[in-house]
Amino acid sequence: MDNATSSEAVHEGLAHAPVRVMSARVKLGTRLVNLYSRRELWRNLVISDIRIKYKGSALGLLWSMLNPAFTLGIYYLVFSVVLKNGYPNYVIFLFSGLIVWNMFQNSVFSATGVIVDRAGLVKKVSFPREILPLANVGSAMIYFFIQLVVLVIFLFVFHHAPEWNMLAILPITFLSLCLFAAAVSMVMSAFTVYMRDMKHLMEVLLQLWFWLSPVVYSYSNSLATQLATYHLKFLYFMNPMALVVLTFQRAFYVNTEVHQTTGTHPLIHMLPVWAPSSFLLLNLAMLAVMATLFLIALVIFGRLEGNFESEL
Partner 1 sequence: MKTTVVEVAGVSKSFKIHYERHQSLKERLLHPRTGHSEDFSALKDISFTMEEGETVGIIGHNGSGKSTLLKCICGVLQPTSGEIRLRGSLAALLELGAGFQLELSGRDNVYLYGTMLGFSKKRVDQIFDDIVAFSEIEHFIDTPVKFYSSGMYVRLAFAVAVNVNPDILVVDEVLAVGDERFQAKCIDRIRFFQEEGRAILLVTHSADQIRALASRAIVLESGLMIANGNVADSLRIFREHLLGDTPSNEINEHQSGDVHIDSLTTPTGSFDVQSGASMHFDVHVTSATAYSGNFVMEIFTRGGVLVSRSDPQSSPINLRPGHNTIGIDLPNIPLLDGVFDINVGVVDPRGSNVKAWGEKVATMQVTYGGREGGLVELDASIRQL
We find the least distance from the C-beta atom of residue 275 to partner 1, in angstroms, to be: 46
Q: For residues 235 and 174, what is the distance between their CA atoms, to the nearest angstrom?
A: 22
Q: Taking Cα atoms as reference points, which of 252, 270, 76 lies closest to residue 153?
A: 252
Q: For residues 11 and 14, what is the distance between their CA atoms, to the nearest angstrom?
A: 5
7 near partner 1, judged by CB under 8 A: yes
Measured from the CB atom, is 12 or 262 closer to partner 1?
12
Helix (H, G, I), strand (E, B) or coil at 259: strand
We find the least distance from the C-beta atom of residue 125 to partner 1, in angstroms, to be: 5
Question: Which residue of 195, 228, 235, 275 would you call a contact of partner 1, by CB under 8 A?
Answer: 195
Measured from the CB atom, is 127 or 154 closer to partner 1?
127
H-type helices in 195-239, by residue range? 198-212, 223-229, 233-236
Q: Which helix (H) or strand (E) holds 245?
A: helix 240-252
What's the residue count for the chain?
312
Question: Which residue of 58, 82, 125, 204 would you call a contact of partner 1, by CB under 8 A?
Answer: 125
Question: Which residue of 59, 121, 273, 281 would you call a contact of partner 1, by CB under 8 A?
Answer: 121
CA dihedral 31, 35, 41, 46 (to 10 degrees): 110
Task: Name the one range near partner 1 by CB under 8 A: 138-146, 190-198, 215-223, 271-279.
Answer: 190-198
Could you say which residues in the range 47-76 bind partner 1, by CB under 8 A? 48, 51-52, 55
238 near partner 1, judged by CB under 8 A: no
Measured from the CB atom, is 82 or 208 closer to partner 1?
208
We find the least distance from the C-beta atom of residue 214 to partner 1, in angstroms, to be: 30
CB-based contacts of 244, cutoff 8 Å, min separation 6: 100, 104, 173, 176, 177, 180, 286
Q: Taking Cα atoms as reference points, which of 171, 145, 148, 151 lies closest to residue 93?
A: 151
We find the least distance from the C-beta atom of residue 45 to partner 1, in angstroms, to be: 7
What would the x/- binding string for partner 1 be over residues 24 to 43, using CB under 8 A?
Answer: x-x-----------x-xx--
Q: For residues 279 and 277, what is the distance between their CA atoms, to the nearest angstrom?
A: 5
What would the x/- binding string for partner 1 be over residues 137 to 156, using CB under 8 A?
Answer: --------------------
We find the least distance from the C-beta atom of residue 118 to partner 1, in angstroms, to be: 9
Residue type at 27 in one-letter notation: K
242 near partner 1, judged by CB under 8 A: no
Question: Which residue of 36, 74, 81, 123 would you call a contact of partner 1, by CB under 8 A?
Answer: 123
We find the least distance from the C-beta atom of residue 44 to partner 1, in angstroms, to be: 5
Angle at 41 between CA 40 and CA 43, to 5 degrees: 65
CB of 270 within 8 A of CB of 258?
yes
We find the least distance from the C-beta atom of residue 137 to partner 1, in angstroms, to be: 18
3 near partner 1, judged by CB under 8 A: yes
Helix (H, G, I), strand (E, B) or coil at 267: strand
CA dihedral 49, 45, 100, 104 (to 10 degrees): 90
205 near partner 1, judged by CB under 8 A: no
CB of 151 within 8 A of CB of 99?
yes
204 near partner 1, judged by CB under 8 A: no
Cα 19 to Cα 10, 16, 30: the distances in Å are 15, 9, 12
Binding site for partner 1 (CB under 8 A): 1, 3, 6-7, 10-11, 14-15, 17-24, 26, 38, 40-41, 44-45, 48, 51-52, 55, 120-127, 194-197, 201, 305-307, 309-311
